[in-house]
Amino acid sequence: MVNARLRIFGLAGIAAVLLLGVSTAAAQSATDAELEGWAYKLPNELMSPFCPGRTLSACTSPQADSLRMWLIVQEASGRSREEVEAELFERYGDVLRPAPRAEGFGLTAYVFPVLAFLAGGVIVAVFLSRQTRAAATNKPSSQPADPELERIIDQELAG
């Protein structure tokens, strides 16, 4: 009986220590996230000019490493995020944008899918209306087409 109580208290103690450790780790990661400035967040939001199709944070090239370090130095020197972004876009252009601008030619990336969807809906509506109209006009008549054919069918069914 005493051994069972000791085991229960031991397990409860271990659970309490684990819970305390998890909560401390969560609080530490939240504090780390608050300490990280825009220089640590910006590489996740910009595409890499060195690795096509990857964000700057996911690019493994040495040039991307130096650009990430340059961002940290710029933040540490007191420059604003907007100034640094403007300099980056001036240097590398729109290749840094994860999506095209919604102006000029880039607007087609947003307008074309909507127009294609609407055109597809119109095509489907026209097709369905023609099919239902054709089905309504092609109903079989209740009158036999040929009286001789009707007589032959009656003979076959009777015989």
DSSP letter string over 101-150?
-SSGGGGHHHHHHHHHHHHHHHHHHHHHHHHHHHHHHTPPPSS-S-HHHH
Report the pLDDT value the prediction gives residue 1, as an integer from 0 to 100: 55
Report the pLDDT value the prediction gives residue 84, as an integer from 0 to 100: 94
Residues of the chain with pLDDT under 50: 30-34
On whether the CB atoms of residues 41 and 84 are closer than 8 A, the answer is no
Pairwise CA distance, residues 50 & 30, whole Å: 31
What global pTM score does this model have? 0.50
| 42 Cβ contact partners less than 8 Å away, ≥ 6 residues apart | 56, 71, 81, 84, 85
Report the pLDDT value the prediction gives residue 21, as an integer from 0 to 100: 60
On whether the CB atoms of residues 38 and 81 are closer than 8 A, the answer is yes
Tokens of 24: 């401390």
| 43 Cβ contact partners less than 8 Å away, ≥ 6 residues apart | 55, 56, 57, 67, 68, 71
Report the pLDDT value the prediction gives residue 49, as an integer from 0 to 100: 93
Report the pLDDT value the prediction gives residue 61, as an integer from 0 to 100: 93
- Tell me which residue of 48, 53, 82 sits closest to 68, measured CA to CA: 48
Region of 97 on the Ramachandran plot (φ > 0 left; ψ -120 to 50 alpha; else beta): beta
